[in-house]
Structure 1
Amino acid sequence: MTRKAPVLADLVEERFDRLILLVGRLNYMWTNTESLLIHLIAGLAGTSKDAAVIIFLTLNTTRARIDLVERLAKMDGRAEGIRDPILEHTRRLGKLSGIRNRFNHCIYSFDPESGNPKTILMRIADRKTDIKMGRSDTLDGEALREIEQVVEDLSTLNRDIWQLITRLDYPV
């Protein structure tokens, strides 16, 4: 019995399944890692984890949560040994947020010729005299490897933040 060559529809489904799995992993790792800011807020603000959860949930963007942690870390009298590692970790998280946003604030479609998944950015870019909408990027093998790298980077960052929380004896 001979095996038929995969048709374009099969390749599209396979690529889409891989993409969805990777974006799901990205979202899981992102949420899990961002939630560690709760422990940093609790420790830096000198409050309970429960109060830090309320603060965390009240701030409805990653940028606001990172800003709060960074500002608390930079307060007068904060030791460099506390401030500097926290700022290093929040900066790493901030850099990864751009890639995370790219894959979460878009819609997905497929290139009709190659079958590659594509993202269509759901953002308006204001220019001097016009606007641009719907920037489209093909999600080829390189883009999928980029998502895999971000998931790996988030996993490493997650472990690093946990180690810092433990070392600083912040509420867990």
Structure 2
Amino acid sequence: MLHEGPAKLGPRFQEILLLIGQLNYTWTNTESLLIYLIAGLARVDKETAIVIFLTLNTTRARIELVERLSKLAKNPTDRRREILSVTEQLTRQAKLRNKYSHCIYSFDETGTSGSTQLMRIFDAKDDIRYGKIEELDDAEVRKITNCINDIKNTNTTIWRLVREYSYPH
């Protein structure tokens, strides 16, 4: 249960909020770099790539487009491998980002012990399950921190590819 006033928010709660904010900022900034990969692979200008990017309203669709464009025969094998490696990384990183973007957070009355409840339905053969609860412990904080660092590395890699292949930016 989320408590009312900011005076009741403990340091762990603040740490989690800052990490989730950093995760989302880093993710959004890096996902937007797909615009440059789209521009280069589709051989269009940046403005056209932005329209394509914004028209595809899910991360999965944007990644799939970049993957499919990279697989075209006109792209050298090495370039294809590098770009597919980047999209593979983004797909893996998106899982944790999505988890923390689509859950409910709960903290105890001191704001020091927290958990998440996933807002997703899991269909089994004879029933459904929803609302998986997981602790926000030190191991989970490390996972988030590592994911942020991984996304930053992916960002750097995309910029390197954009410059190396002279994609519009």
Task: Tell me if both proteins adopt one fold, taking TM over 0.5 as the criterion.
Answer: yes
CA drift of 1:115 comes to 4.2
Determine which of 76, 81, 106 is the counterpart of 1:79. Answer: 76
Q: Which one-letter code corresponds to 1:123 in the other structure?
A: R
Tell me what 2:3 maps to.
none
Contact 2:13 2:112 in 1 (8 A): no
Contact 2:67 2:83 in 1 (8 A): yes
Gaps (5+ residues) in structure 1?
1-8
Tell me what 1:3 maps to.
none
Query: Higher mean Cα deviation, 106-115 or 54-63?
Result: 106-115
CA drift of 1:117 comes to 1.2
TM-score, normalised by the number of residues in structure 2: 0.92
CA-based RMSD of the aligned residues comes to 1.8
CA distance in 2, matches of 1:169, 1:114: 49
CA distance in 1, matches of 2:146, 2:87: 18
* CA displacement 1:111-140 (0-9 Å, x = unmatched): 569941111101111111100010010101
User: Larger RCO: Structure 1 or Structure 2 (Cα < 8 Å, ≥ 6 residues apart)?
Assistant: 2
1:88 paired with 2:74, answer: no
CA drift of 1:110 comes to 2.0
CA distance in 2, matches of 1:58, 1:146: 32
Tell me what 2:102 maps to.
105
Q: Which one-letter code corresponds to 1:48 in the other structure?
A: D
The percent of aligned pairs where both chains have the same amino acid is: 48
CA drift of 1:12 comes to 5.7
Contact 2:11 2:112 in 1 (8 A): no
CA distance in 2, matches of 1:114, 1:48: 49
Q: Which one-letter code corresponds to 1:142 in the other structure?
A: A
CA distance in 1, matches of 2:8, 2:156: 36
Tell me what 1:21 maps to.
18
Contact 1:42 1:51 in 2 (8 A): yes
Tell me what 2:54 maps to.
57
CA distance in 2, matches of 1:116, 1:65: 36
CA drift of 1:37 comes to 0.3
Contact 1:74 1:83 in 2 (8 A): yes
Contact 2:26 2:151 in 1 (8 A): yes
Larger radius of gyration: 1
CA distance in 2, matches of 1:111, 1:13: 9
Tell me what 2:34 maps to.
37
Determine which of 92, 107, 116 is the counterpart of 2:113. Answer: 116
1:170 paired with 2:154, answer: no
TM-score, normalised by the number of residues in structure 1: 0.90
* CA displacement 1:14-64 (0-9 Å, x = unmatched): 111000000000001000100010000000001010100111011111110
CA distance in 2, matches of 1:24, 1:113: 21
CA distance in 2, matches of 1:132, 1:115: 28
CA distance in 2, matches of 1:139, 1:11: 18
Gaps (5+ residues) in structure 2?
1-5
